[in-house]
Amino acid sequence: MSYRIEKDTLGDVKVPADKYWGAQTERSRNNFPIGDPASMPKEIIEAFGYLKKAAAITNHKLGVLAEEKKDLICKVCDEIINHELDDQFPLVIWQTGSGTQSNMNVNEVVANRAHVLEGNKLGEGERTIHPNDDVNKSQSSNDTFPTAMHIAAYKMLVEQTIPALESLRNALEEKSKEMDEVVKIGRTHWMDATPLTLGQEFSGYVSQIDHGLNAINNSLSHLSELALGGTAVGTGLNTPKGYAEEVAFNIAELTGYDFVTAENKFESLAAHDAIVESHNSLKQVAVSIMKIANDLRMLASGPRSGIGEIIIPANEPGSSIMPGKVNPTQIEAITMVAAQVMGNDVAIGVGGSNGHFELNVFKPMMVANFLQSARLLADAVNSFVERLVIGIKPNNERIQELLNNSLMLVTALNTKIGYEKAAKIAKTAFAEGTTLKESALKLGFLTEDEFDQWVDPSKMIGK
């Protein structure tokens, strides 16, 4: 491999000759050989493309950046936004906690790529665009990285996670309507309880997803606030007047989303409560999904030796040794995702609680976990809907068998003959292996007509 020499304030550094990055990026590559190479999320790099372009436009409008420099910076930023330069961002998540090296990675790539776009060769001649003085003008890593965090998180939620959850919510609601008349036995404490319909059971799942969606949507307003303009500690040192408001406006224009400048830049740099809050809503969804998916796992269990009240799609063979076995693999996948999201929430909470003085230095880890959660939920939910939920069918024969055999139908007799006599009917039926009706008639607590009139599951579902 051939190299060229790049310089920074610490001296000369050898950089791969065909790469656009510079000295600070190469130092970071050498200093942090931790985890997978190039693990910094591409969504963060894309967000940097938006904010660097917006900064150049703003700096030009406010009279501190020449038009030719603005145009060059914008041209390279468009390539970054379109993921044409993804191989130029080799840094890992596990670097400086402010994300400074990733900010400089972008600055160096923009400056060197602009140099080439002007018809020059890398490492030869004087660059028109300087990574610090021009690409990073009116900025600090301390306000650019949290801005990138918010842009990336907001876009991921709006473009991927929310649509997936809306699809799940709608699919569950459709199933709830389809099965609204299917009366089945309820269960509490893993024991038989009073009847309800499958539709009612599924309506609870719909409500859970609704609440999760509301929480995510409510968190977007906090995520829409951008730190850019705070520079090093939140004071806005080295920015022209009106920069913070104008650059947020330009980011909103470029992305099509309602980003605004943060009211308090000190909070935006020193804490990441918006990330903590928004991810907490993702954790809430993960908790709901874990409950819903496990319910479906158990309702579909069997097919002959379990509950077996619903039938789920058979997507692939389930065993390498047991012929004909089919497993609830979509459920297993999505519950693993839910567990990962819950774990990510712990890490994000720890990171958010450790912002010391004027700067939180857990930024890369926090946003990487956030984006992983949002992406995993979107992907898993889409697969879950397509390959499981829309194919769920009631197993009517099994539902009727379990319903008719349940002792908890005796609850309907509480208001007719009293709790004590009703309990005696159930206990006698259980002990003697008879039906409730046989037990009630044997004990002489009511007539056959009264039993048939009062113990009717279809009248016990609250409709």
Q: Which residues make Cβ contacts (< 8 Å) with residue 374, sequence separation at least 6?
A: 153, 156, 157, 160, 161, 282
Q: What is the pLDDT of residue 355?
A: 83
What whole-number distance in Å separates Cα of residue 384 and Cα of residue 382?
5
Residue 423's domain is classified under what CATH number? 1.10.40.30
Given a cut of 90, whether residue 237 has pLDDT beyond it is: yes
Residue 108's domain is classified under what CATH number? 1.10.275.10
Query: Does 207 belong to an annotated binding site?
Result: no
Q: What angle do CA 359, 363, 369 make, to 5 degrees?
A: 155
Q: Does 241 map to a domain? A: yes
Query: Does 325 belong to an annotated binding site?
Result: yes
Residues 299 and 242 in one domain: yes
Given a cut of 90, whether residue 393 has pLDDT beyond it is: yes
Instruction: State the catalytic residues.
Output: 189, 319
Q: What is the pLDDT of residue 344?
A: 98
Q: What is the pLDDT of residue 415?
A: 96
Q: What mean pLDDT, rounded, does the chain reach?
A: 97
Q: What is the pLDDT of residue 24?
A: 98
pLDDT digits (tens, 9 = 90+) for 325-344: 999 999 999 999 999 999 99
Q: Does 15 map to a domain? A: yes
Q: Residue 161: helix, strand or coil by DSSP?
A: helix
Residues 271 and 391 in one domain: yes
Which of the listed residues 122, 137, 152 is the one where a domain comes to its end? Answer: 137
Q: Does 198 map to a domain? A: yes
Q: Pick the closest to residue 181 from 391, 392, 409, 463 (CA basis).
A: 463
Q: Are 296 and 386 in contact (CB under 8 A)?
A: no
Residues 133 and 150 in one domain: no
Query: Does 182 belong to an annotated binding site?
Result: no
| CB-count exposure of residue 3 (10 Å: 0-12, 13-18, 19+) | middle
Q: Which residue has the tokens 């060769």?
A: 121
Residues 304 and 354 in one domain: yes
Query: Does 142 belong to an annotated binding site?
Result: yes
What whole-number distance in Å separates Cα of residue 246 and Cα of residue 61?
9
Residues 202 and 321 in one domain: yes
Residues 290 and 358 in one domain: yes
Number of structural domains, the chain? 3
Residues 231 and 99 in one domain: no
Q: Which domain holds residue 281?
A: 142-397
pLDDT digits (tens, 9 = 90+) for 268-315: 999 999 999 999 999 999 999 999 999 999 999 998 999 999 999 999
Bridge pairing between strands 183-188 and 260-261: unpaired
**Six-digit token pair at 153?**
């998180």
- Read off the pLDDT of each residue in 54-59 and give the average, rounded to a whole number: 98
Query: Does 188 belong to an annotated binding site?
Result: yes
Q: What is the pLDDT of residue 1?
A: 84
CA distances from 416 to 366, 450, 452, 455, 463 (A): 59, 10, 13, 10, 20
Query: Does 146 belong to an annotated binding site?
Result: no
Which of the listed residues 101, 118, 137 is the one where a domain comes to its end? Answer: 137
Query: Does 130 belong to an annotated binding site?
Result: yes
- Read off the pLDDT of each residue in 231-247 and give the average, rounded to a whole number: 98
The residues that bridge with 260 in the sheet, in sequence order, are 225
Q: What is the pLDDT of residue 207?
A: 98
Q: What's the pLDDT band for 164 if we cut at 50, 70, 90?
A: very high
Query: Does 327 belong to an annotated binding site?
Result: yes
Residue 255's domain is classified under what CATH number? 1.20.200.10
Q: What's the pLDDT band for 126 if we cut at 50, 70, 90?
A: very high
Q: Does 402 map to a domain? A: no
Given a cut of 90, whether residue 463 has pLDDT beyond it is: no
Which of the listed residues 103, 137, 171 is the one where a domain comes to its end? Answer: 137
Q: Does 328 map to a domain? A: yes
Q: What is the pLDDT of residue 271?
A: 97
Residues 168 and 236 in one domain: yes
Query: Does 167 belong to an annotated binding site?
Result: no
Q: Following DSSP, what letter does each residue of 193-245 receive, concatenated?
A: EEEEEHHHHHHHHHHHHHHHHHHHHHHHHHHTEE-TT-TTTSS-TT--TTHHH
Q: Does 274 map to a domain? A: yes
Residues 297 and 171 in one domain: yes
Residues 125 and 190 in one domain: no
Query: Does 133 belong to an annotated binding site?
Result: yes
Residues 117 and 162 in one domain: no
Residues 110 and 219 in one domain: no
Helix (H) or strand (E) holding 373: helix 363-387
Q: Does 127 map to a domain? A: yes
Q: Does 349 map to a domain? A: yes
Q: Pick the closest to residue 289 from 177, 369, 209 (CA basis).
A: 209
Query: Does 98 belong to an annotated binding site?
Result: yes
Given a cut of 90, whether residue 362 has pLDDT beyond it is: yes
Q: What is the pLDDT of residue 108?
A: 98
Q: What is the pLDDT of residue 176?
A: 98
